[in-house]
A = this chain, B = another copy of it.
Amino acid sequence: EEQLEEPEEGPSTKPESASRLPYMFDSSKEAKKLFECIINPVKLDRFFAEFWERKPLLIQRYKLTPYYNDGWFSTAELDHILRQENIQYSVNLDVTSYENGKRETHNPIGRAYAPVVWDYYQSGCSLRLLNPQTYSRRVWKLLSVLQEYFGCCVGANIYLTPPGTQGFAPHYDDIEAFILQLEGRKNWKLYATRTGSEKLPRFSSENLNEADLGEPILNRVLEAGDLLYFPRGTIHQASALEDSHSLHITVSCYQKNSWFDFFEKLLPRALQIAYEEDVELRKGVPLNYLQNMGVVNSDKETPERKMILNKVEKLMTSIFKNAPIDAAFDQMGRGFIHDSLPPVLSESEKSCSIHGTGERWDSKRNQVTSMVEIEPDSMVKIIRQGALRLVLEEDQVHVYHNLENSRIYQGVEPQFVDIPLEAAPAVEFLIHSYPEYISVDSLPLEDIQLKIDIITALYEKGLLLTQEPLEPLYEDGSVDDEKPE
């Protein structure tokens, strides 16, 4: 039984809005708007109630709006990238085929030059561009906005398939998948999860044998403009029709972002805290435990065993009572910040941040000019709601942020700014005030100098936007201490 969405009247949103959404004041609203466009005309409520992590959803928009997914990426852009960038086989690009049940990778070593890549394509190989966000500003924008919506790392692959071929064996993945058909047509087959333990899995499958799959639960052609969503664990395969190539982008999210991952962070911390606070946990286990506990004694009903089981339960309760739930979520958040893409900044954002203002070299006068300073009445906000996270670690306050992340996944170490403990309320205030601008003076700190220092520190790391570009101090460009009168 297919999960199929047939819009009667077509998308209510203009298609171009998806790839060219206007700048919005509030990054989380912008993110929500973008995702609404992507699943248009299905509504958010319905999507999360019926489909998300539950079952596939096919949205056919090609009849009314075949151009709906235009703008994200094109084969012409791929050709351009191959010519302009140092694309490496295996690192950035895979050349694959799946024929007669045999899946092969044909990657040579070294740089992928366009003519050689097209030779492979002509001979029936599929191309998979692994990190389009590194080379395409639009894909970067798409993913960096969506990651704010999902609160987790959002990735993408581009798949180009020659007519009449298939590039991959049936398999399932460990991510929530959104397939946006960009060019041509592809026939998709989805299959039911085989066992309960393969539901919402943490790891992708090997290549599967077609014989083991049973009947597809969905078997439809995706056309340019369409969207196909399916949860992690859904077995799938797809082949281009004989009369057309196929290009699509797979947007993925929620990899290792489950409750398991949360508890993996929570439990060791909960134990450590209970150890520090509850001396009971530091006491020795009973002398006689070896004779009463263990699988070999699991059928015993001795009083010692009962007492030990009671004790375990009591200690468990103690561990859970003190479990640092918020700190564990902050660790999840910290991981997200590390994995995420840096935000795409508009020109107007640049001019209101460290990128656009401040000291510069004056070639004519051979000296530095245009000094600016944060003032008590400067109006500021954080640059994106999802670009930073305040985390307490070992009595230190770190503001983790993704502004210096590279467009390659985990290309840099986690970046953070150290904040003095007493300034933490100011950062909290900034976070909670978003998306509104606030004046430096209004920060909940005693000392005006501390307010200016903390805002300056964040501003100089690119974490803040000012409402207006900061003005250079003196029109005459003088930067020494003597002010003009």
Q: Which residues of A contact B (CB under 8 A)?
A: 28, 48, 53, 74-76, 78-79, 83, 86, 110-111, 113-116, 118-119, 121-122, 149-152, 176, 183-184, 196-197, 199-202, 244-245, 254, 257-264, 266-268, 271, 275-276, 279-285, 287-291, 293-298, 309, 311-313, 315-316, 319-320, 323, 325-327, 329-330, 332-333, 336, 354-355, 357-361, 363, 366-368, 371-372, 385-386, 389-392, 403-404, 406, 415, 427-428, 431-432, 460-462, 479
Contacts and interface: CB of A to CB of B under 8 A. Distances in A.
A284 B330 contact: no
B257 A285 contact: yes
B118 A360 contact: yes
A386 to B, nearest CB: 7
B287 A260 contact: no
Contacts of A283: 53, 200, 258-259
B257 A263 contact: no
A246 B289 CA distance: 37
A154 to B, nearest CB: 12
A197 to B, nearest CB: 6
Copies in the complex: 4
A114 B282 contact: no
A230 to B, nearest CB: 14
Contact of A285 (B262, B287, B359, B386): B262
Contacts of A298: 326
Given A271-B264, A329-B294, A258 B245 contact: no
Nearest to A431: B296
A258 B271 contact: no
Contacts of A115: 354, 357-360, 372, 460
Nearest to A255: B284
A281 B263 contact: yes
B355 A83 contact: yes
14 contacts: A75-B363, A75-B366, A83-B355, A111-B403, A118-B368, A262-B285, A266-B312, A289-B329, A290-B389, A291-B385, A293-B325, A294-B330, A295-B327, A296-B330
Nearest to A479: B122
Given A258-B285, A263-B319, A358 B279 contact: no
A91 B100 CA distance: 50
Closest A-B pairs by Cβ, 5 of them: A115-B358, A118-B359, A293-B329, A79-B361, A200-B282
A320 B366 CA distance: 58
Contacts of A262: 285, 312
Contacts of A323: 316
Contacts of A201: 282
Contacts of A366: 75, 183-184, 244-245
Which of the listed residues A121, A291, A359 has the most CB atoms from chain B within 10 Å of its own CB? A359
Given A260-B282, A271-B260, A75 B361 contact: yes
Contacts of A285: 257-259, 261-262, 332
B267 A404 contact: no
A295 B326 contact: yes
A88 B91 CA distance: 24
B359 A290 contact: no
Given A282-B199, A294-B390, A361-B78, A368 B122 contact: yes
